[in-house]
Amino acid sequence: MSALRWIFTIAIIIVSIVMTVVILMQEGRSQGLGAISGAAETYWGKNKGRSMEGFLTKFTTGLVIAFFIIAILLNMNLF
Protein backbone atom coordinates (compact mmCIF):
# COMPACT_ATOMS: atom_id res chain seq x y z
CA MET A 1 0.00 0.00 0.00
CA SER A 2 1.29 3.40 -0.89
CA ALA A 3 1.60 6.19 1.63
CA LEU A 4 -1.21 8.17 0.03
CA ARG A 5 -3.57 5.20 0.32
CA TRP A 6 -2.70 4.88 4.02
CA ILE A 7 -3.43 8.58 4.54
CA PHE A 8 -6.84 8.30 2.84
CA THR A 9 -7.65 5.14 4.81
CA ILE A 10 -6.85 6.85 8.12
CA ALA A 11 -8.79 9.94 6.99
CA ILE A 12 -11.93 7.93 6.19
CA ILE A 13 -11.76 6.22 9.59
CA ILE A 14 -11.46 9.59 11.37
CA VAL A 15 -14.27 11.12 9.28
CA SER A 16 -16.48 8.11 10.04
CA ILE A 17 -15.94 8.39 13.80
CA VAL A 18 -16.47 12.17 13.85
CA MET A 19 -19.57 11.86 11.65
CA THR A 20 -21.06 9.25 14.01
CA VAL A 21 -20.49 11.49 17.04
CA VAL A 22 -21.92 14.58 15.34
CA ILE A 23 -25.03 12.71 14.17
CA LEU A 24 -25.63 11.38 17.68
CA MET A 25 -25.33 14.92 19.09
CA GLN A 26 -28.20 16.19 16.94
CA GLU A 27 -31.75 16.40 18.23
CA GLY A 28 -34.60 14.43 16.72
CA ARG A 29 -36.80 15.99 14.05
CA SER A 30 -40.14 15.02 15.57
CA GLN A 31 -41.75 17.76 17.61
CA GLY A 32 -44.85 15.79 18.55
CA LEU A 33 -48.20 17.58 18.38
CA GLY A 34 -46.48 20.94 18.84
CA ALA A 35 -45.30 20.84 15.24
CA ILE A 36 -48.86 20.40 13.99
CA SER A 37 -50.27 23.35 15.91
CA GLY A 38 -47.42 25.68 15.03
CA ALA A 39 -45.80 25.73 18.46
CA ALA A 40 -42.48 24.85 16.82
CA GLU A 41 -42.21 28.39 15.41
CA THR A 42 -40.09 29.81 18.19
CA TYR A 43 -37.10 32.10 18.15
CA TRP A 44 -34.74 29.13 17.89
CA GLY A 45 -36.84 27.59 15.11
CA LYS A 46 -36.61 30.75 12.99
CA ASN A 47 -32.89 31.27 13.61
CA LYS A 48 -31.88 27.63 13.32
CA GLY A 49 -29.02 28.43 10.95
CA ARG A 50 -27.29 30.46 13.64
CA SER A 51 -27.81 27.98 16.46
CA MET A 52 -25.74 24.99 17.50
CA GLU A 53 -28.22 22.70 15.75
CA GLY A 54 -27.74 24.60 12.50
CA PHE A 55 -23.97 24.31 12.84
CA LEU A 56 -24.21 20.56 13.48
CA THR A 57 -26.40 20.13 10.40
CA LYS A 58 -23.94 22.00 8.16
CA PHE A 59 -20.98 20.17 9.71
CA THR A 60 -22.68 16.81 9.11
CA THR A 61 -23.25 17.72 5.47
CA GLY A 62 -19.57 18.57 5.06
CA LEU A 63 -18.51 15.33 6.72
CA VAL A 64 -20.79 13.27 4.47
CA ILE A 65 -19.40 14.96 1.36
CA ALA A 66 -15.83 14.35 2.57
CA PHE A 67 -16.68 10.71 3.32
CA PHE A 68 -18.05 10.10 -0.18
CA ILE A 69 -15.13 11.82 -1.89
CA ILE A 70 -12.56 9.83 0.10
CA ALA A 71 -14.48 6.59 -0.49
CA ILE A 72 -14.60 7.22 -4.24
CA LEU A 73 -10.87 8.05 -4.32
CA LEU A 74 -10.02 4.88 -2.41
CA ASN A 75 -12.19 2.78 -4.72
CA MET A 76 -10.62 4.13 -7.92
CA ASN A 77 -7.25 2.46 -7.17
CA LEU A 78 -5.29 5.41 -8.51
CA PHE A 79 -2.48 4.87 -6.03
Whether the pLDDT of residue 79 is over 70: the answer is yes
Q: Is the pLDDT of residue 52 over 90?
A: no
CA distances from 63 to 26, 33, 59, 68 (A): 14, 32, 6, 9
Q: Are 15 and 66 in contact (CB under 8 A)?
A: yes
pLDDT digits (tens, 9 = 90+) for 9-43: 999 999 999 999 999 998 876 655 555 555 555 55
pLDDT above 70: percentage of residues in the chain: 72
Q: Where does the pLDDT of residue 3 fall: very low under 50, low under 70, confident under 90, or very high at 90 and above? A: very high
- Torsion angle (degrees, nearest 10) of CA 44, 46, 52, 58: 160
